[in-house]
Every structure is written in C-alpha cells, then in structure tokens.
Structure 1
Amino acid sequence: MKTFGSKIWALILCFLILTIAFMYLFTDFLYDQLYVEDSERSMIEIGEKLQTIYKGGEVTDELIVKIEDYNSYSNINVFAVRNPRELSACVPFDIDYDSLIGPDERHKLLAGEAITKIGYEERFGRQIISVILPFTDENRLEGILYLYYPLAKISELANKEVVLLIAGAFVFILIAGYFVFKGLRHIMRPLHLLQEAVEQMSKGDYSARVAVASKDEIGQLSNAFNRMAEAIQHEDEVQKTFLATVSHELRTPISYVKGYSEAIQNSFLEEDKKDEAIALIAREANRMERLTNELLQLVRIDNELQEVVLYPIVLAETIRDVTNLLAAEALKKEITLNTRLDEELIVEADEEKLKQVFINLIENAIRYSNDGTCITIETSKVGKFARIQVIDKGIGIPAADLPKITERFYRVNKARSRADGGSGLGLSIVDKLVRQHFGQLTIESELEKGTTVTVQLPLMEE
C-alpha cells in the first residue's frame, strides 16, 4: 500500500524526470540554434569577405594561394578551386560532387547565393558544416570558395568543466535530497500524529488530541479533528451519564414492583396491607410508563432530521385546550387556574408540540404548588414575539439550581419529585421543543414564594 509520503516522493521524481527531459531538449535546441547557427553565420561572413578578393575573370593560382593562406591563422578550413571536382584533392574526406552541387545548387550559386550543408563525417567522428560560395563573372561560374568546419559535440563544449559540473550536480542532489527529506518529514509529522489520534478514537479513547503547530491546511484539519474529538467525547460522556441515570431511575420502581408483587404472590402480606401494596405497584408502574414515554419523546426530538413544520395557530385557543385538560388535576389540590389571554396573538408552531410545552409547564406548576393556591397563565405581545407566562405560588426553586433546571434528570428535591411522579425530564423536553420553534425559555423563582416560567415564541409575520 502506497503511503502519502511515497506518493509525494513519486511526484517529485516525476518532476525531476520531466525537468531532465526538458533540459535535454532545451540544450539540444541551444546547440542547434546558437552554436550551429552561429558557426554557419560566421563562416558565411568570412566567405563573403574572401569573395571580395576575386575581381572577375579566371580564378588564378595566385588567388587560390592567397585564399588558402587564411588557413594558417583560422580554425576554419578554406579552399578555392576552379572546378568543384578538384575538392577531393583538397579536403581529407570523400565528397560526392553530384550531391554537393546539383542543378538546384548550381542555380543558387549562379545567383550569387551561399549554400550550406551539414552532415556526419566518419573521418572526424562528428558533424561537418560546410559553406560554398561562388566566383562568378558575367553569369559564368568560374570557381567556388569552399569552407568547412568540424562541429564540436555538446560534451566537448564544456570538456574542461564537465568534472566540476558532475560534482556540483551530485552535491546539489545530496543537499536537495536532504532538505526534501527533512521537509517531507516535517510536513508529514502532523499527519502521522493525526493518524495515531484517529486510531486511538477508533479503539474508544476519545481523549486523543493533536497538537496544532501551524495555520495551514494541515493545521486547520488538526483543529477540526480536535473539535470533533471534543464533541464526540462530550456526547459519549452525556450518553454514559444518561444511561447511568436511566438505570438508576428505573432501578427503584422495578425493585418496588418486583418486591411487592412477590410478597403478594407468596402471601407474605396481611390482607389489610395488600390494597396498599397494589396501589404502590400501580403508582410505580405509572411512573415507569411516564419515564419511558418521556425518554422516547426526548429521543424523537434529538433524532429529528427535518425541521418542525410550523403553521399559524391562535395561541389563546391552544392554551384554553390545555387548561381544560388539566382542570381535573388542579381540582384535586383545590388549585385555581386563572387565564389572561390576548385573543389576537397568532404564532407559527406545531400545535401538538406546543400543547406538550404548556402541559409540562402547567403540570409542573400544579405538582409543586401548595393546595388551595392559584396558577396564572397570561399572554402578551412583546415586539415580534408572543410572551407566555405560567406563574405559580408554589415552593419555588433555589437560585443555585436555576442554571441546571433544564438538564436531563435534574431534580431540586429528589425525594419529593419521586413521590410526585416527576422524572426530571419535563423541563428538558420543554426547552428542546421551544428551541425547535425558534423561541426562548426563561425561569425565575424564589423559595417559598413561587416560580414564573416565561416562553417567547415568534409571532406570525403580517
């Protein structure tokens, strides 16, 4: 399996190969365009200057000698001949006259143009560049000026520096390789740490974190991983606490139901105690049912993938339906439910979920209010929001408990909550449902004086 580092090495190798190929082609281009062309241009210039010695008429021996004297102080070989066939006696390699000067070349020479030829010559083991210029008089070809020069190979152009060049290239490769290795190691280190952290998390260790040493893409990835790990760790702790709390909450009613049912089955209880035991079993069964229903409701709220479908609802009618539903429960404690409702308030909400909010709030107010008191439910308009308040004259909530009151299974008075059938989930459900409606829940309370719960919901846009 290829690692990320090996892929980078492969990419660098590809770039090096492409660079070498480019440099080879570029060097060949420079050789052709600069060295060869420069040699050709220089030979033509020299030939044209030597051409000026010829004044017309027959090419004399004196002219030939004068031109060949140029060979003594130039690295370009120059010959002048009357007949091109005589060149074979002057140059140290075979010349094919027919290929050297054919009809086309003869036409160019008569027109005064120079002819350039490049070809490989075994005698020299390299390419030969030659230039032919004419000696013409009255449209007659009296002779030719022949210049040739063995082109140096590319390797010979830097023959003295080739060792230094190779040594320098080798040192450069070593230095570049070292820095590339160190650079890759530095770049890859955060990714290795990230991989180790991911493996730790896959084994259930959610405390794994990655040190962030840069602000580049890898640093941003490390930051994102750390945030994800914190969220997963928090969620894992919440789930563990939730499961432990659920187990604890169910253990007590199950033990009551199990113990008293076995006592009745085995006739351990006296007849006058059986009715009391059956009532206790029924109460604990109801409590387990209520707890299970509220747990399922919480799970449904947490797992809802789609937004709540909101539609216009007359707020006063919904609250009246809830108070009518809970009137019998309030009557048991001789509690009066007073309502002061603004009939014109229309909110955008899910009616069933909204009823659940008000049922939970009013039930809590009834449960924790003293007998013979009153509970007030009132609505009013505050800007673009409808404000709903449930005000009771109950036992109140200590100030230290108010910040945690909407947490799951949180109870102010655990003993009294269990006796009243409270699960500690009601306000948690209310808080989530209000948030689903883009609203806000606030609770104000004072011990032995009562509690005011305020819900703000967006009004329907006009």
Structure 2
Amino acid sequence: MKKISFKLGISFLLVILILEMLLFFFLYIFIARERIENETDNLLGRGMNHRDVLEKNFTPNTIEHVALMEAEGDTKVIITDDQFDIIGASHDFNENMEILIDIGKSMDFTHHGTLVEERWNTERYLATISPIEIDGTYEGYVFMFADTNPIRTMIRNITLLFLVIGGIAIIISIIAIFFLSQFITQPLIKMKEATKNITRQGNAVTLDIHRDDELGELAREIYTLSEELEHLKNERTEFLSSVSHELRTPLTYLKGYADILNRPNLSVEDREKFASIIQEEATQLTEMVKELFLLAKMDKNQFSISKEEIPLCDFLKEIVSKLTPAFMEKNISLQLICAKDIYVNIDPIRFRQVINNLLDNARKYSSESTSVEVVVHEQKYGVSIDVRDQGEGIPEKDLPYIWERLYRVDKSRSRALGGTGLGLAIVKEIVELHGGTVEVKSVLGEGTTFTINISR
C-alpha cells in the first residue's frame, strides 16, 4: 500500500510540476515579450514624433530643441543629415551608437520607422531609424537608442521571481500531495487490513461506511461482502452439519437393520419387514445423494438449461394426469385451471422437476378430502403458475428459510414423509436459471400457495 501511496504522490507531483512549468513558461514568455514590444514600440513612436517635428521645421534651433527634449530621458536621440553625418544629439555618442548608425545606412527602411537593433539580450542598445522626408527626398534621419540593461535587469528579476514562486508552489504541492495521498490511501490501507481480517477472523471489519464518496461506496461494498461471507460460512457449516446428520441417520438404520437380519432366529415376517425398511432408507439415501449432486452441479455452473417453446397447458395437463392417482390414494382432489393455450420458453425436463416437487410437497402436507390446484395466469410480460393446497401451512417464522438446503419446518414429520429437505432449494435454483422467480404465501392451518413467475 505504501507503494501505491508513493506512486500516487509521484504521479500527482509530476502532473502538477508539468502544469506549473508550462504555466510559468508561457507567463514568462508573455511578460518578457510584452515588455520588449512596449520598449520597441515606444522607441519607434518617439522617433516618429521627433521626425514629424523636424519635417515641419528642419533647422538648427529645432534640432537643438529635439535633442534637449531627450536629454533628461532614458532614451537617446541622434539626428543626422542625408549623408548620415551627426548634426545633433541628446547625449554623448559612443562607438556602439556609431556602429548602429552605420548599420542603418545599409537597411531598407520606411518612412514609418524601422528597427535597427532588437537583440536586447546580447547588445547594449535597442535602436530605430526614422527618415526625415521633405518634398519627397530624405533630408536627414532620426536615430533613437534605448539602453538594454534595464530590460535585462527586469528579465532577471522576473526569472528570479518565477523561480521563487515556482519553488514555493512546488513545496506547497508536495505538502498538499502528501496529505492528499494519505487521505486517499489511508482508507485503502484500512480496507486492505479489513480484507485480511475477513479471511482470518470472519467478519471482524471496521470501516468508515458513512463517507459520501467512492471510497465510502467501496467500504460499504467490503462491509456487505464480509456480512455475506459470514452468512455463507454459517450456511456452509450448517449445511455440512445437516448433510452429515441426514446421511448418518439412514446409514445408522441400514446398519442396524442389516445387523438384525443377520440374526439366525429371525422370523420370515420380520425379515421381510426389516428388508423393506432397509430398501426404503436406501431409496431415500439414493434420492438425497442424487439431489446433492444436482445442487453441486448448479453451484459449479455445470447445470445446463435447454429451452424450447412449448404449450404450457398441455405440458401441465400431462404432469397432473400422471400424478392424479397418487393424490386419489389420499382422497385429495388435484385440478388444473388453464384457460387457453399459452406458449412459454422453458426446459421441459427441468421444469417438470419443479412442478413435480411442488405437487409432491402439496400431496405430502395436505390432509384427506382437501384439494390442490394448479392455476395459470397470463400476465402482461409473462406467465404465473400457482400451486395451491389446503394443507397445514408453514409458520411465518419459517417462510424465509424454506429455500435453504436441508431446512425442514418439522424435522421429525418431514423424515416420516420421506422428504430430503432439498426439493425447494432445487425448485428455486431451476426457476432462477430460467430467469424467473418463485414466491410463497402461507397461512398456518389454511394452506400454502407457491407462485412461479416466468417471462415469455
């Protein structure tokens, strides 16, 4: 997790550094260029102003007046005649200025003024030339000079300022990123410890599930997962305990009655009776193992559903007709109510198992002279199938658990009736594999209704 915190911090820092460097670079270029352009525009403007004055009155007095105007300023002016000989200056001129005047001689300049030198970072002066045009001919030239040292000083100050600001920004960014990465990674570290606790100690999880952000959502998901894992762990323990109990009981009967059969003085009648009991227990044990294997295949997603479109009423009518004799033995009326032809897309073999299980339960837990009904309702987007009985019903406290494997409402009565406690679990799994749902409503002493909902 420290690696994640370090990588996250470094990533944030690199992104912020790149953004700051780009921002400072463009600001630096913009400010420096703006200042230099202002200086050169100002120099050109002053040169053209002096040129305009001299074009109106090109006399020694005017030349002296122009030179005097620049004597107290930061810029310098030199006025030459048409041969580039100096005829007026605001300051003492030097060799650098003379070189720039010589450069100006060979330039293609315009009446609006031209930059002679603009390399502020290497040369001593910025320089411009503005020709004095009288009656269509150039009678002289105005050279303006600005010392580049103040510009370089300004650029150095800007650079230093940006370095200081950049350094402060980097330090602040590092501190902010450190706390931000800790703020993000600390909950992740706690979640990591929580997942360890889940594997070691069950559901001993303590997380901040009240955060209103993605980390809060993740914490809530982990907490929910821990609860589900604990529930699954308890279910597994109970299931294994129930399986061992359910297998132990018939095996104990088998061994006990097999030992009795080995007694030499056993009568033929008793021998047949005990052999019949052994056969019943073996049949029940075989049925339970078969259903356990079926549920195991469902858990491993090895249970295949092969759907086909079939007429539901004909399908149910066939099942009801085959089971009617078993119901008649207990004097129970079995009726099918299916008004018209309805076609559904189901696996007939697997769905037959669902209906058989529900009807078998209805028969086992219904008293004589009662009725069991299979009622089909056509819904807007699908079909519902009700299996209603008038049996003893299921206590309300047991309803949420009847779908669990090996759960029995009345264990002693269920064993007497030959149930394995797996039938409803199989029903639920098969219906859900069809994309449907199964529900139950029951009133103690009045009966139970199982409702299967499937889409077309």
TM-score, length-scaled by structure 1: 0.77
Counterpart AA for 1:282: Q
Give unpaired runs (5+ residues) of structure 1. none
Counterpart AA for 1:13: L
Structure 1 residue 212 corresponds to structure 2 residue 213? no
**1:289-328 alignment runs, 5 A limit:** 289-301=286-298, 303=301, 309=307, 311-315=309-313, 318-319=316-317, 321-325=319-323, 327=325
Offset at 1:208?
3.2
SS at match of 1:84: coil
Match of 1:15 in 2: 16
Match of 2:37 in 1: 37
Structure 1 residue 113 corresponds to structure 2 residue 112? yes
Offset at 1:133?
1.8
Match of 1:130 in 2: 127
Q: Distance between the aligned counterparts of 1:172 and 1:459, measured in 2? A: 64
Decide whether the 8 Å contact of 1:209 with 1:229 is kept in 2: no
Question: Given the alignment, which residue of 191, 195, 202 partners 1:194?
Answer: 191
Match of 1:423 in 2: 420
SS at match of 1:117: strand
**1:348-363 alignment runs, 5 A limit:** 348=344, 349-363=346-360
SS at match of 1:54: helix
**1:163-242 alignment runs, 5 A limit:** 170-171=167-168, 173-201=170-198, 205-208=202-205, 210-242=207-239
The superposition leaves residues 187-224 of structure 1 with CA deviations (integer Å, 9 ceiling, x where unpaired) of: 33222222333344455745435322422222223333
Judged with a 3 Å threshold, the aligned counterparts in structure 2 of structure 1 residues 413 and 184 are, in CA distance, closer, same or farther, namely closer
Offset at 1:76?
0.6
The count of aligned residue pairs is: 441
Let me know the Cα RMSD of the aligned residues.
4.1
Offset at 1:130?
0.6
Question: Given the alignment, which residue of 413, 424, 449 partners 1:454?
Answer: 449
Deviates more, 1:272-281 or 1:246-255: 272-281
Offset at 1:301?
4.9
Structure 1 residue 78 corresponds to structure 2 residue 80? no
Judged with a 3 Å threshold, the aligned counterparts in structure 2 of structure 1 residues 184 and 140 are, in CA distance, closer, same or farther, namely same
Counterpart AA for 1:90: F
**1:328-347 alignment runs, 5 A limit:** 334-342=329-337, 344-347=339-342
Q: Distance between the aligned counterparts of 2:37 and 2:158, measured in 1? A: 23
Judged with a 3 Å threshold, the aligned counterparts in structure 2 of structure 1 residues 21 and 387 are, in CA distance, closer, same or farther, namely closer
Offset at 1:250?
0.9
TM-score, length-scaled by structure 2: 0.78
Counterpart AA for 1:318: L
Q: Distance between the aligned counterparts of 2:421 and 2:70, measured in 1? A: 114
Q: Distance between the aligned counterparts of 1:399 and 1:25, measured in 2? A: 75
Q: Distance between the aligned counterparts of 1:195 and 1:17, measured in 2? A: 32
Offset at 1:54?
3.0
Offset at 1:74?
1.0
Judged with a 3 Å threshold, the aligned counterparts in structure 2 of structure 1 residues 269 and 231 are, in CA distance, closer, same or farther, namely farther
Match of 2:93 in 1: 90
The superposition leaves residues 429-454 of structure 1 with CA deviations (integer Å, 9 ceiling, x where unpaired) of: 3455556574644354555xxx6333
Q: Distance between the aligned counterparts of 2:85 and 2:320, measured in 1? A: 125
Offset at 1:252?
2.1
Decide whether the 8 Å contact of 2:436 with 2:454 is kept in 1: no
Question: Given the alignment, which residue of 371, 374, 388 partners 1:376?
Answer: 371
Q: Distance between the aligned counterparts of 1:3 and 1:286, measured in 2? A: 59
Offset at 1:280?
3.8
Question: Given the alignment, which residue of 434, 440, 443 partners 1:442?
Answer: 440
Deviates more, 1:425-434 or 1:245-254: 425-434
Decide whether the 8 Å contact of 1:340 with 1:378 is kept in 2: yes
Give unpaired runs (5+ residues) of structure 2. none
SS at match of 1:336: coil
Question: Given the alignment, which residue of 89, 92, 102 partners 2:106?
Answer: 102
Decide whether the 8 Å contact of 1:127 with 1:150 is kept in 2: yes
Offset at 1:148?
0.6
Match of 1:68 in 2: 67
Match of 2:147 in 1: 150
Counterpart AA for 1:453: T
Counterpart AA for 1:115: T
Q: Distance between the aligned counterparts of 2:117 and 2:124, measured in 1? A: 7
Counterpart AA for 1:100: G
SS at match of 2:250: helix
Q: Distance between the aligned counterparts of 1:103 and 1:235, measured in 2? A: 92
Counterpart AA for 1:16: L
